[in-house]
């Protein structure tokens, strides 16, 4: 099949995005397409693939997101901003309700986060602290700053689903090797954690800034994970590190978002939805093989505008 796509990113979390409103792929075919297009050694690459799909009675349009291993996520908030932008263009709107796999989210095109950076505000939730939602078998009803004996090490975690499941721990300095060890323990889908989980190590940098580093389920270490930034913001409020209702900066390897968690467990992120280039490629789903990519258009000004933001964050 000939696949036309936009290579895009939200806060450095990168994806090929397809308009699949008229597609009729099976879940197995979607998984194959994700493994082909999102493979880092392949012709496109990404942390997964995004699809603009039809909505339902409560939404203008929908979103599906498949990780690079072919598994489908409940949501991806960095990816949601990119799908929202595509949906806004398709329907000629600036605000919408979006259907996700197991929930809905509100999105709106808002003022630029920085000059030349297309910005979307997204509100998702309510975040849940119920361990039965994952499930985490054998755990108490909630885990808030508590040890998880089955994980490597002795750190305390807060368990949040939004609706992706996240273990969040607050530490002084992030050690990637330690994060990978914990992430891989979850990625193995042990009996007590059958649906796996994302793991985030978070540095609190003052009263209004967090730095988040995430091992993402189905992907591994990522430059950024939107639901992890939302879950970390909510966890920071639940544990008293940040005030509910306070807008903060959440930094990551790929850039940053502005975030706010409310007492009703809804979390709003303001972040970029950046187009990098548009292309098309012929994909053999049965063989999970792609041909040569044809680049149709580049968005160099958008790429440069976001690069300026990312460089400023790193400084």
Active site residues: 76, 225
Q: How far apart are CA 235 and CA 242, in angstroms?
A: 9
Radius of gyration of the chain measured on its C-alpha atoms: 18
Helix (H) or strand (E) holding 269: strand 267-272
Handedness of CA 133, 192, 13, 207 (dihedral sign): positive
Cβ within 8 Å of residue 77, ≥6 positions away: 10, 105, 122, 124, 226, 227, 229, 230, 269
Whole-number Cα distances in Å, 56 to 63, 100, 126, 266? 11, 10, 20, 22
Closest CA to 165 of 256, 230, 98: 230
Cβ within 8 Å of residue 240, ≥6 positions away: none
Strands 156-161 and 165-170: antiparallel
92: left (phi over 0), alpha (psi -120 to 50) or beta: left
Residue with tokens 């909505």: 55
């Amino acid at each position: 099949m000939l696949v036309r796509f936009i290579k895009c990113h939200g806060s450095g979390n990168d994806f090929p995005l397809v308009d699949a409103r008229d597609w009729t792929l099976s879940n197995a075919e979607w998984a194959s397409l994700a493994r082909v297009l999102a493979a880092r050694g392949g012709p496109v690459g990404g942390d997964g693939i995004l699809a603009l799909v039809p909505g339902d009675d409560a939404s203008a349009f929908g979103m599906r997101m498949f990780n690079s291993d072919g598994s489908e996520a409940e949501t991806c908030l960095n990816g949601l901003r990119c799908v929202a932008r595509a949906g806004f263009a398709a329907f000629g709107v600036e605000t919408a309700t979006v259907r996700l796999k197991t929930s809905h989210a509100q999105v709106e095109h808002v003022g630029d986060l920085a000059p030349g950076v297309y910005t979307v505000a997204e509100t998702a939730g309510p975040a849940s602290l119920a361990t039965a939602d994952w499930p985490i078998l054998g755990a108490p009803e909630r885990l808030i700053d508590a040890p998880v004996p089955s994980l490597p090490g002795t750190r305390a975690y807060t368990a949040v689903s939004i609706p992706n499941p996240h273990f969040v721990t607050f530490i002084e300095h992030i050690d990637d090797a330690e994060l990978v060890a914990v992430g891989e323990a979850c990625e193995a889908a042990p009996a007590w954690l059958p649906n796996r989980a994302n793991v985030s190590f978070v540095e609190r940098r003052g009263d209004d800034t967090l730095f988040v580093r995430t091992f993402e389920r189905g992907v591994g270490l990522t430059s950024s994970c939107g639901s992890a930034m939302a879950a970390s913001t909510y966890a920071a409020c639940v544990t008293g590190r940040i005030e509910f209702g306070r807008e903060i900066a959440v930094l990551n390897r790929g850039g940053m978002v502005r975030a706010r968690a409310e007492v009703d467990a809804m979390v709003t992120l303001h972040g970029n939805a950046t187009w990098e280039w548009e292309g098309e490629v012929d994909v053999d789903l049965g063989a999970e093989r792609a041909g040569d990519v044809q680049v149709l258009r580049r968005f160099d000004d958008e790429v440069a505008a976001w690069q300026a933001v990312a460089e400023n964050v790193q400084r």
